[in-house]
Amino acid sequence: MQLLDGKALATKLETQVKDEVKKLKESCGCTPGLAVVLVGQDPASATYVNMKKKACDRVGFYSITHDMPESISQDAIEKTIMLLNNDTNVDGILIQLPLPKHIDTTKLLELVDPAKDVDGFHPFNVGRLTTGLDGFVPCTPLGVMELLNEYNIDVKGKNCCVVGASNIVGKPMASLLLNAGATVEICHIFTDDLKKHTLQADIVLVGVGVINLITEDMIKDDVVIVDIGVSRTKEGKLVGDVDFQSVSKKSSFITPSPGGVGPMTIAMLLKNTLKAAKINAKEKK
């Protein structure tokens, strides 16, 4: 069994982004900028936003967080997004999800300028991904592809079982795998007999937030396991969706969680923001 060390790869990629930011600053005086919209008091969201901000600081990005109260109106968030769309210091806009129940999330995501959509959640970029065109790709599944690539795990012709069908992880994950030539199954909450599907897979990618969902009896020997889930146990420990102890013994490669996919998500956010900044820098010339 070999660990897919997302933390180590993310550190390496961050150094590359930092170098490129320096070059960009020297060549055109441009500083990549990321604006984050955070609504409400969800502790997990606050932690993620804080980690993203710190990563921006480390690589030399400009970053700004619009911290809004839970009670904020749809209209007020929309006005903020429109201002950010027109702000030349901002190359990327990220709306931290989930949003409070009274907010229309889809409407907000559609309001973000697709050229600043570093999360890849705008239907324009979703469409480009499913058609195999260049665009912004959601950070978590993009990070998984980079991690597999780093360890020379070619998905072409492999049976991949994606567990979870969210717009943030499962669906874009499946699109990326399909675009890379994999045979893809997507399992979800209504899937009857999950084990029947995971047992067929060469690669299992799971991101649903259910502790110990994947156990050793559900996988074949030498499988590749990508654990995208993060949950907190009653004792306060962070764990993934995979029973790591037993599953790791049967697998050829496995991500730890935490420390696997999570750091890659942040590294991809930096890469996507740099990509947006480079396009904007060209347009300014």
List residues with catalytic annotation.
Answer: 52, 96, 119
The residue (of 14 and 243) whose beta carbon lies closer to ligand GUN is 14
Which window, 22-30, 61-69, 90-98, 128-136, contacts ligand GUN (CB under 6 A)? 90-98
The residue (of 95 and 201) whose beta carbon lies closer to ligand GUN is 95
What is the distance between the terminal CA atoms of the chain, rounded to a whole angstrom? Answer: 50
Helices (H), the chain: 6-28, 43-59, 74-85, 105-111, 123-130, 139-150, 170-179, 194-198, 244-250, 261-284
The residue (of 139 and 184) whose beta carbon lies closer to ligand GUN is 139
125 touching ligand GUN, by CB under 6 A: no
**CB proximity list for 33: less than 8 A, separation 6 or greater:** 61, 62, 63, 64, 87, 89, 90, 91, 92, 273, 277
Q: Which of 91, 119, 202, 243 binds ligand GUN (CB under 6 A)?
A: 119
Amino acid at 232: R
Which window, 61-69, 92-100, 106-114, 223-231, contacts ligand GUN (CB under 6 A)? 92-100
Site string for ligand GUN, 142-181 (x = CB under 6 A): --------------------------x-------------
Which window, 93-101, 226-234, 251-259, 276-284, contacts ligand GUN (CB under 6 A)? 93-101
* Token couple for 43: 């502790």
Q: Comparing C-alpha atoms, which of 45, 115, 40, 37 is closest to residue 79?
A: 37
Long-range contacts of 101-109 (CB under 8 A, 24+ apart): 102/74, 103/39, 103/74, 103/77, 104/74, 107/74, 107/78, 108/74, 108/77, 108/78, 108/81
Upstream peptide bond of 256 is cis (omega within 30 degrees of 0)? no
Q: By beta-carbon distance, which residue lies closest to ligand GUN?
A: 97
The residue (of 119 and 185) whose beta carbon lies closer to ligand GUN is 119
CB of 118 to ligand GUN, least distance (A): 9
Say if CB 122 and CB 172 are below 8 A apart. Answer: no
94 touching ligand GUN, by CB under 6 A: yes
Which window, 91-99, 127-135, 189-197, 209-217, contacts ligand GUN (CB under 6 A)? 91-99
Q: ∠ CA 249-255-259 to the nearest 5 degrees? A: 130
Q: Which of 77, 95, 103, 214 binds ligand GUN (CB under 6 A)?
A: 95
The residue (of 9 and 201) whose beta carbon lies closer to ligand GUN is 9
For the chain, give the number of residues: 285
261 touching ligand GUN, by CB under 6 A: no
| Binding footprint of ligand GUN on the chain (CB under 6 A) | 94-97, 119, 139-140, 168, 265
